[in-house]
Chains A and B, each alone.
Chain A
């Protein structure tokens, strides 16, 4: 099996860069890609990521990606995790939640 691919496509650049940096530091065996939120669908088609972390999940992400996190949509404090076919809402997500998810991708 090849390296797991994670696409980080949050709305604001510095936030996206910070999350991507943290994921790379903790998980050197995964490939972490960054994309502007407008480019998310094209990057999903191109990369076929195992996990997408974004500010607003798209129809294409829902259809094509096995695991995704809609992180703070509209900068609200709640987020949605979709992993292993299960969807759950989560409030006040911490960085450690994202790191744990990446380390245990189904």
Chain B
């Protein structure tokens, strides 16, 4: 295995940069996989998860590319017209395709540079969405691994209930501020996030009453009643996702969804996306698999979660080496 710097030139003169991991022995297949990180994080992803994935797959014979889209990591350019203080604005942009074109340029050059026969995409969180959108443009993607990808837009999430595990954590962090005069000053001067506090207090009451899960279920039911003329749910589901998914299913690619058990994104997937597009009776059965990493948070930060995630990725990818 060897690692080298990689770059692809954008028409405006900006360079999109990354790292390519080259297998010692590529067999006869010449498979290439692009790994897309979360949000505006650099190409290593949370705790170098993308580095670990790239090296794992390279040892299995795949060429692996990790890139920074423009404005991120080591690539040229800047992301403009978004308030830099508001991370949610960046997330929304990513979730609606901000990086798709840059990734397309990189993947096209990657294929050419290494004479790749088949292409795969692995995306984490927002990178999963970018990967899905990419399948609409590069219509030869054999496999996509969609990891902890949110199916809702971040700014719309504020009206969604928080996952019980995160609600508990946030509640305790607010609780710690009860004796903090600065926090009280913020609260009394109108600077606190009252909506969040309201949701957390309500959540705590529901938890006390043993009805924690009913909050989420009620929202899912409410969402299910908002259906447009095409039969799509319109409330919180990012409309670009079903469109790209259905397009990809019309092609010949396969998809592996990997969710983390303790993750807001999994709740959205299970309640807003899966019932509509993946339940029995829908077409495409056999073209997708769904896996859940137990006791894992969104970033797969525990050692056990990382091991399981890597194992799921390797097992799924290796089937293409055997085909």
Q: Do A and B assemble together?
A: no
Residues of A within 8 A of B (CB): none
